Amino acid sequence: MRIRISSYLLKLILFTLVIGAFPVLILGWYSYHYSSQSVLQQVEERNSQVLRQSQLRVEQTLKMIDFSTTQLLGLPTVTKAIATKLDIKDMDMIHELYKNLSSIQTFELGIKDVYLFSLEQDWLITNSGMDAYSQPGLKEKLRPFAGMPGGSMWLSGNSASIQGADGMVELNHAVMNIKKWPINASRPRGLIAVVLSSQQLTDLIGNEPGPGSVFILDEDGRAITHSNPSLLGRDLSAEGYITAIREREDTAGVFSGIAGERKASISFRKSAYNGWTYVSVIPTEAVTRQATAIGRTSILISLSVLAATMLAALVGSRRMYSPVRHIYRSLLPDNKDPRPKKDEFIAISDRIQGILSDQSKLQLELAGQQQQLAEFLLRKLMLGEARFQGLPERLQDYGYGHTGKWTLMRVLLVQVDRLDHSRFTEEDRDLLLFAISNIAQEVIPEGDRLPPIVIRESVVLLTGTSSQSEEAFKEAVYARAAEVQASVKSYLQLQTSIGISRSCQAWTEVGRGYEEGENALKYRARLGEEVILFIEDVQPASRKEIVYPKQLEDELSEAIKSHDREQAGVLLSRMMNALAGEEADHQEYQMSLVRLLMDLIRLLQDAGISHHLLNAGENSLFEELLAMHSPGDIESWFGKAIVYPAIELLKQRQENQFTSISEEVKQLIAEAFDTDLTLEKCSARLNYHPQYIGRVFRQETGSSFTDYLAQYRLTVAKRWLKDTDLTITEIAMKLKYNNPANFIRYFRKMEGMTPGQYRAGLTE
């Protein structure tokens, strides 16, 4: 016998597993992510601290050396010796200088050698003697540093070989401090140079063990110290991460980059003391090893917790299912198989629904709840979201059982026409719609309607009848709509329009009725405000082809061109009536209005007038036109905004033309012939369309604008050739020719000779 597992028990087990497993997986992932980030952050913080300590140790040593050399230069013996030409008789002073030089060359500071150079007396003293090892050219190696801008500077990577007390010292892997005496003098009298081995700096930054490497770069990007000896003195500025460090404006920071073709965490600090950059590079793989170990541990823990969760889900679900099974069996009839054939809760729900159906009448006696439920159901009907199965029964339960006898229904939409001329504002619209809803409830008997609802900016009402014919029902609906409209105007002093759908014979057609009521209201743009519109009257099922009144438009255009305001007003009124009289829907009506507007704008453009002179409002002409709903407003707008202003503009243009456009263009050519003058620039100056100016100029002068300008420039060129000493190239450039060859070619074409031949003929 096959064992049948309870559907609800299986769902409960699966749900418990999901609820238990999801937090475990999220927690495991979060633990791994947080731990990894924490490890990386700790390593980066430790790296930054190590780098900061290394910088402090190095700069402390450099500052001690800097301070020691400053004190040495301040000693009376040194200052006196620099000004003295030392020889054998000054041995005591020389020995004193040796002693002072040796005093700063301590083991702690790591100084390799010290050089004291008198620029004034041209002698050099080191720990090994005076001028004994000055060859080859040691003085000449040090002398250029007298011209350095500062009084003291640190150098690195210098390739000069300088003789020291212990032999030759290569500065390729050393740093040197140069200090002038006097320190701020533009022409110092002496120098002191202290050579510090790079190994000393490496020892200072290499005290902290750990992954990665710490090194120092000078201002040119060369390695002063590095754990890899082969990189000492090399220019590392071409490395991507070094370039990124040098481009950053901050003095310290941490970022991820590529170092040696491996991902790495890079920390840096820029020294304000000597311009060096301290860099620490730690490969990312060294950091992620610990994070990987944490990840494995997190996975093991998560799997263990997940296994425990599954066990708890199995045991707990069976215990939670026990009371459900008990309720299920207690609700079953005595003769029914207790083994569940479907989800227990569905079976329990079916049984409870049967029990509650016997008590539904008692629960639905609360009027407020009934109306709210009916309004909610009606809203879903209008928007096409309701389930039609069992709809009459639900309406009967809500207290609207009379709707079951309806044979015809219509949808009414009531909208406020405008608030701008009333005592109300847009903020009051919702309250006004609620008031209109209450008025509709009072006007229309309860047995002939469902409760009104508000959808967007409309009060929506469904009314029906069970005894009237189609025509009688339509008349009754119109009478009720007119009464609602009159009541709203009486109580609220507001004008309203009402759109009414075609008759509906089934509940499935109510959504279509709502759309038809909305479409009917859109015809206010043609028929005016405060109207009651049946959709079948304004949008019949079949209509003839729309004919645009082109002849009326042509007559209107001629009246505008003739400046006849009275005739233009009459023709505009006839045009509006013709458009409104066509059997067209609102979209076709609006397209006809837009066509009229575009043709009138084209009329102005053909006359050389910009349509921008008509628009004085914030919105465009098209936006203003499409925003109006009343035919009277549309006709008034066309007159005030388009027709009458166009007549005035054309009249002004005709009056201004008496001054002769061509003469103004000639004056502009005479004033600006030596500039990049074009027909478009003339039109901008004269406020005419370029094509219009070109046409008028050709009619009055017999030549085009371009030919006239070229001829005028030719006349000026001939005058300059005669009266001035300007070269032909200068004349061509002044007259805005692209090159002298073009000027010479045009001159020869028009005069039969070159400009040079023309000038030569004048002198003969």
User: 338 and 332 in contact (C-beta within 8 Å)?
Assistant: yes
Averaged pLDDT for residues 464-481? 89
Residue 262 sits at the vertex; the CA angle it makes with 257 and 268, to the nearest 5 degrees, is 40
Which positions ≥6 away from 298 have C-beta within 8 Å?
A: 28, 29, 31, 32, 35
Q: Are residues 591 and 702 in the same domain?
A: no
Which positions ≥6 away from 511 have C-beta within 8 Å?
A: 381, 382, 383, 384
Residue 277, in any domain of the structure? yes
Q: Any idea which residue has 């001035």 for tokens? A: 724
Q: Are residues 628 and 689 in the same domain?
A: no
What is the signed CA dihedral for 8, 12, 14, 15, rounded to 10 degrees? 130
pLDDT band at 541 (very low <50, low <70, confident <90, very high): low
Residue 480 has what pLDDT? 92
Residue 412 has what pLDDT? 92
Lowest-confidence segment of 122-131, 273-282, 320-329, 372-381 by average pLDDT: 320-329
Contacts 24+ apart (CB under 8 A), 272-277: 273/59, 273/62, 273/63, 274/59, 274/62, 274/153, 274/154, 275/218, 275/219, 276/154, 276/216, 276/217, 276/218, 276/219, 276/224, 277/216, 277/217, 277/245, 277/246
pLDDT, tens digit (0-9, with 9 covering 90-100), for 574-583 = 888 877 766 6
Residue 344 has what pLDDT? 66
Q: Are residues 632 and 692 in the same domain?
A: no
Which positions ≥6 away from 572 have C-beta within 8 Å?
A: 556, 635, 638, 639, 643
Q: Cα(93)–Cα(114) distance, rounded to whole angstroms?
A: 17
Residue 652 has what pLDDT? 76
Domain boundary among 260, 284, 308: 284
Q: Are residues 142 and 239 in the same domain?
A: yes
Residue 58 has what pLDDT? 83
What is the signed CA dihedral for 28, 30, 35, 36, rounded to 10 degrees? 100
pLDDT band at 268 (very low <50, low <70, confident <90, very high): confident
pLDDT, tens digit (0-9, with 9 covering 90-100), for 324-354 = 767 767 766 655 555 555 566 676 777 677 6
**Residue from 358, 359, 331, 334 nearest 346 by CA:** 331
Residue 424 sits at the vertex; the CA angle it makes with 423 and 429, to the nearest 5 degrees, is 160
Q: Any idea which residue has 């032909």 for tokens? A: 728
pLDDT of 607 higher than 80: no
What percent of the chain has pLDDT above 70?
82
pLDDT band at 406 (very low <50, low <70, confident <90, very high): very high
Q: Are residues 270 and 156 in the same domain?
A: yes
Residue 104, in any domain of the structure? yes
Reduce the DSSP state of residue 736 to 3 states and report it. Answer: coil
Q: What is the token pair recorded at 364?
A: 């639905």
Residue 434, in any domain of the structure? yes
Q: Cα(449)–Cα(465) distance, rounded to whole angstroms?
A: 9
pLDDT of 161 higher than 50: no
Q: Are residues 367 and 510 in the same domain?
A: yes
Reduce the DSSP state of residue 287 to 3 states and report it. Answer: helix
- Report for 108-112, 157-161, 355-359, 376-380: range of highest mean pLDDT: 376-380
Domain boundaries, position 102: 53-284
CATH no. for residue 462? 3.30.70.270
User: 379 and 453 in contact (C-beta within 8 Å)?
Assistant: yes
Residue 61 has what pLDDT? 83
What's the domain count of the chain? Answer: 4
Q: DSSP character for 643?
A: I
pLDDT, tens digit (0-9, with 9 covering 90-100), for 665-691 = 888 888 888 888 888 888 888 877 888
pLDDT, tens digit (0-9, with 9 covering 90-100), for 475-532 = 999 999 999 989 998 998 888 999 899 999 888 888 888 888 888 887 776 677 888 8
Q: Are residues 757 and 672 in the same domain?
A: yes
Supply the pTM of this predicted model.
Answer: 0.39
pLDDT band at 109 (very low <50, low <70, confident <90, very high): confident
Residue 9, in any domain of the structure? no
Q: Are residues 558 and 445 in the same domain?
A: no
Paired residues of 202 in beta bridges: none
Q: Are residues 533 and 554 in the same domain?
A: no
Residue 32, in any domain of the structure? no
Domain boundary among 284, 303, 326: 284
pLDDT of 414 higher than 90: yes
Residue 327, in any domain of the structure? no
Q: Cα(139)–Cα(117) distance, rounded to whole angstroms?
A: 8
Q: In the predicted model, what is the mean pLDDT of the chain?
A: 78
Number of H-type helices and E-type strands within the chain? 29, 18
Residue predicted with more confidence, 167 or 422: 422
Q: Are residues 479 and 593 in the same domain?
A: no
Q: Are residues 201 and 89 in the same domain?
A: yes
CATH no. for residue 186? 3.30.450.20
Q: Are residues 533 and 445 in the same domain?
A: yes
CA dist 167 to 82, 112, 128, 140, Å? 25, 11, 10, 19
Residue 133 has what pLDDT? 47
Lowest-confidence segment of 69-73, 449-453, 715-719, 750-754 by average pLDDT: 69-73
- Beta strand 213-217 with 190-197 is unpaired
Domain boundary among 515, 538, 561: 538
User: 115 and 124 in contact (C-beta within 8 Å)?
Assistant: yes
